[in-house]
């Protein structure tokens, strides 16, 4: 239940608090006194787009709220315009607009001549049908089973990925084994190859030394 509307500043309204009672609350007055601005202030908190002024701040207080955001049944939602940007708050803590909308879902709906929030929200359609059918226990059972199903589905995907990784690793090992078989390596062949490598390396060094010696001799013979 919406119990209080606190407006620090909203357009030309400043520093007012409206205490609401359980049941029907009616705002009356002449045209232009600001009745519609109260509704606009509520819409402002709920994320309605528009041209707002620097310093605009509105806070809504709710009682008897039963959702994950409420604390002891109390919920406070607010919006502030600061440095040209909008900042949203849930129970005094900075929050995103999507979080604020999720926190306010099901506890407030604005009815206008051309607008009804709940009816235009597709998520609310199924909730209305479920509530009408009075299947809360069945829904809770379904949620638990669905959560278990999603967990098993995730586990299955992980197992499939692990199997795919193993098959890929097996292909690599088979390829490496094939290369080793085609190489037809013999016992002691490594030592023979190392000796041959050292021998060829020495030949290169000897060849370079002979070349340098020949060059030096040629230089010495030159008058």
139-164, pLDDT tens digit by residue?
A: 889 989 999 999 999 999 999 999 99
Least confident of 29-38, 44-53, 109-118: 109-118
At 28, the pLDDT band (50, 70, 90 cuts) reads: confident
**100-103-107-111 Cα dihedral, nearest 10 degrees:** 30
Query: How much helix, strand and coil, in percent to the nearest 5, is found in the chain?
Result: 50, 20, 30
Predicted pLDDT of residue 116: 57
Q: Which H/E stretch holds residue 40?
A: helix 35-45
Residue linked to tokens 């949620």: 143
Distance CA(194)–CA(192), nearest Å, equals 5
Q: Taking residues 43-63, what's their average pLDDT?
A: 93
- Asked whether residue 115 carries a pLDDT value surpassing 80, the answer given is no
Handedness of CA 63, 67, 70, 76 (dihedral sign): negative
At residue 222, the pLDDT reads 59
- Residue predicted with more confidence, 126 or 52: 52
81 sits in which H/E element: strand 75-82
Q: List the one residue out of 117, 11, 6, 96 whose CA is nearest residue 60.
A: 6
Lowest-pLDDT range, 67-81, 114-128, 180-194? Answer: 114-128
- Residue with the bigger pLDDT between 198 and 115: it is 198
Overall pTM > 0.85? no
Taking residues 80-89, report their average pLDDT. Answer: 94
Mean pLDDT across the chain = 87
Give the pLDDT confidence score for residue 162 in this predicted structure.
94
Is residue 96's pLDDT more than 90?
A: yes
Is the CB of residue 97 less than 8 Å from the CB of residue 47? yes
Residue 112 has pLDDT above 70, yes or no: no
Query: Considering the chain, what percentage of its residues have pLDDT values greater than 90?
Result: 47
């Amino acid at each position: 239940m919406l119990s209080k509307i606190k407006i620090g500043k909203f357009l030309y309204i400043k520093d007012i608090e409206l205490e609401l009672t359980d049941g029907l609350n009616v705002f009356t007055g002449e045209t232009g006194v600001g009745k519609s601005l109260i509704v606009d202030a509520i819409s402002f908190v709920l994320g309605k787009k528009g041209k707002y002024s620097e310093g605009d701040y509105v806070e809504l207080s709710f009682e008897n709220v039963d959702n994950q955001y409420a604390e002891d049944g109390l919920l406070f939602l607010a919006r502030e315009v600061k440095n040209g940007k909008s900042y949203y708050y849930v129970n005094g803590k900075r929050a995103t607009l999507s979080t604020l909308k999720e926190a306010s879902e099901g506890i407030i709906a604005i009815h206008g001549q051309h607008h009804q929030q709940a009816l235009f929200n597709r998520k609310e359609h199924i909730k209305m049908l479920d509530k009408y059918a009075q299947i809360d226990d069945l829904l809770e059972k379904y949620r638990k089973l669905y959560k278990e199903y999603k967990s098993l589905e995730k586990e299955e995907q992980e197992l499939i990925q692990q199997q795919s990784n193993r098959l890929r690793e097996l292909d690599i090992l088979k390829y490496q084994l094939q290369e080793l078989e085609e190489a037809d390596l013999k016992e002691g062949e490594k030592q023979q190859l190392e000796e041959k490598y050292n021998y060829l390396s020495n030949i290169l060094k000897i060849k370079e030394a002979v070349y340098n010696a020949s060059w030096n001799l040629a230089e010495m013979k030159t008058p």
